[in-house]
Structure 1
């Protein structure tokens, strides 16, 4: 079986991390599977790439100071760069001939760079299954509906896509209802639940020894994801350390993120120098291991980080991004209401209330443990099931599994009978 995955990241690392998680799980679950990832992230090489997965790196596209799409590194025009990207995607599809094409978030791709490929498939004698993968929340209903109508996404899904997989719960946010999906599209939607994450290679003792954390100290992890707009959160956290009492024994690890500008990182390094129990690094591909070892997490409200926090049952204080989209805010507010985490609106954030929220989580760990009985974290095995059913009209119950019910369980492993 061959799967081609399209993922774009013009801001942050969220899309890439999510798709790599899905790719790794599929490779462990499906025998003799090859996955080709098409992406444009400048840091894709920093991630561990498992056997069976390879990638084609497109020229980077980012956003300029006006919020407009622009070429990130090459000295080429934006239009010609998108033309190059589009042609690379199409020729890759023609030659790789995947059985399934999994498209992340945008039905036509970034700046419609997938349209030529989709039209080629539609008008040829080559019939791969084409699936759109959506996270739980895209943006406010008003903004999303307007954008989808303007860009013809509803029609595009109807014409070119076999299914739409949503890695979220209908009970948390009903995409079909909130975004007013027409009946023909709603029939294609499969809610998979959230993506369960597990700790990576390092165990808790290794992490605490690495950070020189004593048995009587508490460990707070601060992570703004990719970090492009994470300076404000980290600055407030470091400033909030002033409000700690002498008896508060806390070691903090701050992960700035590879997309935070170097001058901003340097400012934070300088500000943190006065605190001997604060460590700052730029990036790690072991984030889930650090989350698993931490007593409390301070982060933004991206999909991946929230899934990691919930999977590993960690108390968390979330300061969601509200611009340019409100996806993080909607997610954080919804989960705050049901007691899964503590959310602080960025407009209301200050050093004192942030540290107060952190101390509340640290001092009331048992009371603040998230309630998981009604939270579906089985997106990954469902995606395996849907893949088999899509291609072979049978579910993966024909295969043997290792259960994936707990954060420390082994990933799903399949073998044909």
Structure 2
């Protein structure tokens, strides 16, 4: 039985743990002689369905503030003590689990370098596990990323410890080797695997719409803030925009707040939302693909997983990206908007009227089955799996990327930023 250990970065939102859990599922689904152990501090991992041959070690939670600084989330401990505790748990887990491969999410030395001691302790002989760093398509702005990577010696860490760097993105969208000035020794280890397509939801579009009492001909807008920790401004603007419209002009809407939204912020939005007959809501769903499939237009933030869900379903979307403390979501949304894959509203220019106008434009563009006709390469899981199986000797290794499908040049005329109010006539057409 082969063993893979997954270290999942976990300090903000649900994106990292959802992505790493999806990869773990793919690995065990495609290799019966494999077990996966996930190390994470995510407080929400238990809420997801954990398939057989996957288990996890829960670390004490860390939190990240708006300035990017870390701290203990729940324990009455300072950061240094919490990181030391986490590092000891990680090191003992690696020693006892004895993995054939360690898949590290995002940070070569882990959060606050909590992986550094474990990497140094790995044997230098043939019993040493393979080490793979997994990066999403975009980390942050080039200036911020290069500063952090040089300061934290990440290039040296990759050169010394890692066998491969797998990027779940497309170089044609964002080539981080060039954007972040990777030195040749690091760039040579990079493999672009494509974005990660998501599996279909557990329920049909028709059943979800029936549950929400949405008629087949009625457009449905799904509003989701991912984990929800910083999504209250977007959802609040949307609900305020709905309230400003006459009742016949309000699109049917379903809101998923996210489990990490502060209760007082959620309650304030609910007080207004509950006065609108067109709105239904829930705090959390572990089956977002079913809800997205049921919707005609999605309003969301620009996290990696959410974008992959939108791309998988070819959904028309209005994205309000996070811009602090990192620029990752904003850069991703800009690049995707340039390709005609979504419409974005910058959070610094977010208004209820502007957001509803953007939704109205996407709703008005619905034709046929409502899908966005533009597509992009989404074979990330398959390519990551091939790379990992090749390194541990279970399957043929093949991570050569395929060319993405062509994007029509006419799609690039779609506006990047939206910040203007809808007219009553435009709104009434919804």
Taking structure 2 as the reference length, what is the TM-score of the superposition?
0.89
1:104 aligns with 2:133: no
**Distance of 1:210 and 1:348 partners within structure 2:** 35
Closer, same or farther: CA 65–222 of 1 in aligned 2, 3 Å: closer
Aligned 1:171-250 pairs, distance under 5 A: 171-248=172-249, 250=251
Which consecutive residues of structure 2, in runs of 5 or more, have no partner in the other structure?
399-404, 406-430
Distance 1:273 1:234 in 2: 13
- How big is the shift at 1:383? 1.2
- CA drift of 1:105 comes to 0.1
The superposition leaves residues 294-331 of structure 1 with CA deviations (integer Å, 9 ceiling, x where unpaired) of: 00000010000000001001000001111000000000
Q: Give the conservation status (yes or no) of the 8 Å contact 1:218–1:249.
A: no
- Structure 1: where are the runs of 5+ without partners? 398-404, 406-417
SS of 1:130's equivalent in the other structure is strand
- Say which is worse superposed, 137-146 or 77-86, in terms of deviation: 77-86
Answer yes or no: is the 8 Å Cα contact 1:251–1:277 preserved in 2.
yes
Q: Secondary structure of 1:383's match?
A: helix
Query: What's the offset of the Cα at 1:388?
Result: 2.1
RMSD: 1.8
Q: Secondary structure at the match of 1:316?
A: strand
TM-score by length of 1: 0.91
Note if contact 1:122-1:160 (Cα within 8 Å) is conserved in structure 2.
Answer: no
Aligned residue pairs total: 397
Residues 256 and 338 (structure 1), Cα distance of their counterparts in 2 relative to 1, 3 Å cut:
same
Question: For residues 16-415 of structure 1, what are the structure 2 equivalents within 5 Å?
Answer: 16-64=17-65, 67-123=68-124, 126-248=127-249, 250-366=251-367, 369-373=371-375, 375-392=376-393, 395=396
**Cα offsets for 1:232-288 (capped at 9, x unmatched):** 000110011135455446321111111110110110110112101211211110111
Whole-angstrom CA distance in 2 between matches of 1:139 and 1:160? 23
1:322 and 1:328 in contact (8 A); partners too? yes
Contact 2:66 2:324 in 1 (8 A): no
User: Contact between 1:216 and 1:249, CA under 8 Å: does it hold in 2?
Assistant: no
Q: Which moves more between the two structures, 133-142 or 196-205?
A: 196-205
Alignment partner of 1:323: what SS? Answer: coil
**Alignment check: 8 A CA contact 1:243 1:355 kept:** no
Give the conservation status (yes or no) of the 8 Å contact 1:217–1:249: no
Distance 1:387 1:64, change over 3 A: closer
Q: 1:246 to 1:70 in 2, by over 3 A?
A: closer
After alignment, is 107-116 or 383-392 more displaced? 383-392
